[in-house]
Copies of this chain bind each other. A is one copy, B any other.
Amino acid sequence: MSIKNLASINQSFYKKDLISIDQLDPLSIQIIFRTTQHIIDLLQKNEGGDILKGVLATLLFFEPSSRTFSSFAAAIKRLGGVTVEYQNPTTTSSTVKGETLEDTVRVFENYSDIIIMRHPMTGAPIRAAQAAHAPVVNAGDGSGEHPTQALLDMVTLFQRFGRVDHLKGVIAGDLLYGRTVHSLIKAFAMFEGNELYLLSPPELSLPPELMKEFTKKGIKLTQLETEKEIPTDCQFWYWTRVQKERFSDIKEYERVKNRYVVTPELLKERGNKEMVIMHPLPRVGEIDNRIDSDPRALYLTNQVKNGMYIRMALIALIMGKL
């Protein structure tokens, strides 16, 4: 593919919103992978520090999120962009005064080249994108989507295996409420030959309608009853946290929260040398600390770094800077 064609493909992101992983296709995901790698290469050579020069991004976080917030902030600032930062504005002035989400977004877009939005309410970023002329990136909306999380997970696998098709992996934890997991399975379903083994307490298993929807897209999903059934030739184990805040009954939570834990013993029994261990973080015991120094553990390193890189790539593409 010629450089000229690449440029025109990159154009497909120009000034566009990114609200859902559904907006992407295998080609656009590959563009993001390639742009991410390009940025990593530039930074390695101490270049690229002004890719976002002149860009002002507003971080409109209606819900606290230390890690996503700082990942976006670092992505923008390391490339020479500037930010207007608003954290948790549900308790602040305009919202308290009764302003609509649409008005708030339309005000902020006057100062902003791009708006990064986190909101506790599913669907809020779509409303924002419809109201705004400036591009809006969804940084997580309630139990909805978190597309940049799915992208960082995919790019992490791509870096390790050179592909995101024909992979076999386990996805464990909360498959009922976990938006990260839903976006991720959607992304896997776009590529051929992926097989996912699902491991969750029965109370938190993937809803049948989602199981059906994803399967229809061609991905092979298998529900496991116990960790003893994990195939020993998986390329990845993707563990997630059981979210305390989803349970009204604390005892129920305590009972299921650490039903499945990655331990050195389990890894020895069901793992293999080539696989990687992933987690979207924060974790609260689902992965034993003794795993942290294992070179297969990517959750505190590659995944987090790739979170910043993928956001750099995405914003640079949307701003037409790469």
Interface residue count on the A side (C-beta < 8 Å)? 54
Contact of A66 among B83, B92, B308 (CB under 8 A): B92
Chain A 70-101 per-residue mask, 1 if CB under 8 angstroms from chain B, else 0: 11011001100011111001011111111100
Q: Say yes or no: A284-B99 contact (C-beta < 8 A), given A78-B82, A300-B106.
A: yes
Surface stretch bound by B, among A4-12, A107-115, A187-195: A107-115
In the bound complex, do residue B46 and residue A54 qualify as a contact, i.e. CB atoms below 8 Å apart? Answer: yes
Interface residues of A in 270-322 (CB under 8 A from B): 281-284, 300-301, 304-305, 307-308
Copies of this chain held together in the complex:
3
A134-192 interface with B by 8 A CB criterion:
none
A231 at the interface (CB under 8 A from B): no
Q: Which residues from B are CB-within-8-Å of A112?
A: 74
A74-B99 contact in complex given A64-B93, A66-B94, A308-B111, C-beta closer than 8 Å: no
CB–CB B283/A111 < 8 A: no
A103 CB within 8 Å of chain B: yes
Give chain A's interface residues, CB within 8 Å of chain B: 46, 49, 53-54, 56, 58, 63-67, 70-71, 73-74, 77-78, 82-86, 89, 91-99, 103-104, 106-108, 110-112, 241, 243-245, 281-284, 300-301, 304-305, 307-308
